Amino acid sequence: MIFGGARLSKRGRAFAKPLGVRILLENLPNELSTPDRLVEMIRGAHFDDVGVCFDFGHAHIMSSVLEGFEVLKSHICSTHVHDNDKMKDSHLWPGQGSIDWKHAMELLRSAPQTPPLLLELGEDEKVNPLEKLRETFDKLEGN
Q: Is the pLDDT of residue 11 over 70?
A: no
Residue 120, classed as helix, strand or coil, is: coil
The residue range of the domain holding 25 is 2-140
43-76 pLDDT, tens per residue? 998 888 899 999 999 999 999 999 999 999 999 9
Here the CATH number for the domain that contains residue 44 is 3.20.20.150
As for how many domains the chain has, the answer is 1
Residue 78, beta-bridge partner list: 53
78-103 pLDDT, tens per residue? 999 999 999 999 999 999 999 999 99
C-alpha–C-alpha distance, residues 119 and 15, integer Å: 28
| First and final C-alpha spacing in the chain | 32
